[in-house]
Structure formats: C-alpha cells, structure tokens
C-alpha cells in the first residue's frame, strides 16, 4: 500500500472550505473536522454583509448553502438572528476565535469579488483585516483580484496569495508583479505535460485535487501543497 502523500512526498493538504465533502462548507464545523483528521491548513471564503461585516460564505446569495434565497448584501449581520437558516453562518471574527484556539493552523482567507464590487476594495480590505486581527499571524489573504492581494499588504496582512486566473504570459507577469507568498491555481488551467510551473518565492497550491495520482504528477512540477474538499481521502 502506498505511503500517504504527506509522508511519501512531504505534500501538504489545504482543506478547501473546510472538510467540505463531508460537512457543510464554510462552517466552523467543517474547519474543525478537517483539523481533527490531521490538516494544518484550511481555506474559507468571505463576503461582506449589507452593513460591511465579513462573514464566512462563498456565494453572494445564501440560497445554495442555507436555503434562504436572499442576497448577502440585503441583510445586516445584526439581523441574522431573525433567520434560523443562517444559524451556521459565522462572522469572520467568530472564525478567528476558533483559529486562535488552534494555533498550529494556517487559514487562507479568500475575499470574494462580489463584495469588492458592492462595497469597494479599500472598505473590504480594512473590514477584513480588522476582523482577522486577533489571529492575523495565522491568516493569509487570498483573492482572484490582484489589486485586493496588493491592497492586503498595505492594509496589514503579513502574507498573501493570488489565485491565478489564466496560466499564460499575462498571468505570469502579474504573478511576478505581485510576488505573493502563495500562488493558487485550478488543475484545469495548468498546461499539460510534466514541465515545472512558474518558479519564484511563492509556494504553489493546486485545487481541486481529489486523487493521489494527480497529486503525485503535480509534485515533480514544483507543487508541495494541494487543496481539496476530500480531506481524509487525500491524507490517507
């Protein structure tokens, strides 16, 4: 039987939206269960409510994950108690309480574009930095938006990651301009073959990886971190 990836290849696993294949995504339960099975890196998504409070959720609407067909930008955080469907939706400040209680865990905190468009970049980044303050040293701000990643450093985040949109000349130029700590990319945008991925000071994080076979092919290309919702499977 092959050795687990983290012992055989020293590959590390990021829990994508927590242990999202088994528990509701972007919930403290999903994050906690991922840590219980052995990961030390988690990723979660952030939107800002109508009143500018960062919450842990992927979509700009609550419907897919909670059943409540309401835009995130229609509701103030203080009104969540009026909607039982939102019971499991946590503020980022609440997530930081959990994170601080797990000091070995690193969190990749992804600010979503819908909130940037609704609230504006500077407002989003300031609100998110303030919300992460109690566990800021454990947080890495990531985004598809390169300007958000650059703004994160100005705002006070210690580490940043850019989610590559296209693996081409323009993408590489932007990566080198930002020079982040981490580069994230979907397996689907990577060029075919076995060639090394762009080299720099960054570490590559490739998602969504759900098989050891794919992970083993990525490793010689310069990838030491994979992101997955199938947490336990990729640790075994």
The burial of 103, by beta-carbon neighbours within 10 Å (0-12 exposed, 13-18 middle, 19 or more buried), is given as exposed
Predicted confidence (pLDDT) at residue 236 exceeds the cutoff of 90: no
Mean pLDDT of all residues in 133-156: 98
Q: What is the pLDDT of residues 8-18, one digit of tens each?
A: 678 999 999 99
Chain-wide mean pLDDT for the chain?
96
Report the 10 Å Cβ neighbour count for 217. 15
User: In 3D, which of 179, 180, 130, 176 has the Cα closest to residue 156?
Assistant: 130
Q: Which residues, listed in sequence order, are joined to residue 120 by a DSSP beta bridge?
A: none
**What is the CATH topology of the domain spanning 5-235?**
TIM Barrel (3.20.20)
- Write down the pTM of the prediction: 0.96
The burial of 202, by beta-carbon neighbours within 10 Å (0-12 exposed, 13-18 middle, 19 or more buried), is given as buried
Distance, CA of 80 to CA of 30 (rounded, Å): 20
Query: Can you give the residue ranges of every domain in the chain?
Result: 5-235
Mean pLDDT of all residues in 16-36: 98
C-alpha of 102 from chain center: 17
pLDDT at residue 5, rounded to an integer? 61
Mean pLDDT of all residues in 134-141: 98
pLDDT at residue 1, rounded to an integer? 38
Q: What is the pLDDT of residues 164-223, one digit of tens each?
A: 999 999 999 999 999 999 999 999 999 999 999 999 999 999 999 999 999 999 999 999
- Cα dist. 139→65, 85, 99, 157, 161 in Å? 24, 28, 9, 8, 11
On whether the CB atoms of residues 149 and 177 are closer than 8 A, the answer is no
């Amino acid at each position: 039987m092959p050795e687990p990836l983290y012992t055989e290849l020293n590959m590390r696993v990021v829990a994508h939206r927590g242990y999202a294949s088994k528990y509701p995504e972007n919930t403290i339960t999903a994050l906690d269960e991922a840590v219980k099975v052995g990961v030390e890196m988690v990723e979660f998504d952030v939107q800002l409510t109508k009143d500018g409070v960062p919450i842990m959720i992927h979509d700009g609407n609550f419907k897919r994950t909670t059943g409540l067909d309401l835009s995130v930008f229609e509701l103030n955080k203080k009104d969540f108690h009026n909607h039982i469907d939102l019971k499991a939706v946590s503020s980022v400040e609440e997530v930081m309480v959990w994170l601080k209680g797990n000091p070995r865990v690193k969190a990749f905190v992804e600010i979503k574009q819908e909130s940037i468009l609704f609230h504006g970049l500077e407002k989003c980044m300031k609100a998110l930095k303030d919300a992460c303050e109690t566990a800021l040293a454990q947080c890495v701000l990531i985004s598809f938006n390169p300007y958000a990643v650059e703004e994160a450093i100005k705002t006070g985040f210690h580490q940043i990651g850019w989610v590559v949109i296209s693996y081409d000349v323009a993408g590489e130029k932007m990566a080198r301009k930002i020079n982040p700590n981490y580069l994230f990319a979907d397996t689907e945008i990577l060029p075919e073959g076995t060639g090394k991925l762009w080299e720099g000071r960054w570490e590559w994080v490739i998602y969504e990886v759900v098989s050891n076979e794919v992970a083993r092919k990525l490793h010689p290309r310069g990838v030491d971190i994979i992101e997955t919702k199938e947490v336990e499977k990729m640790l075994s």
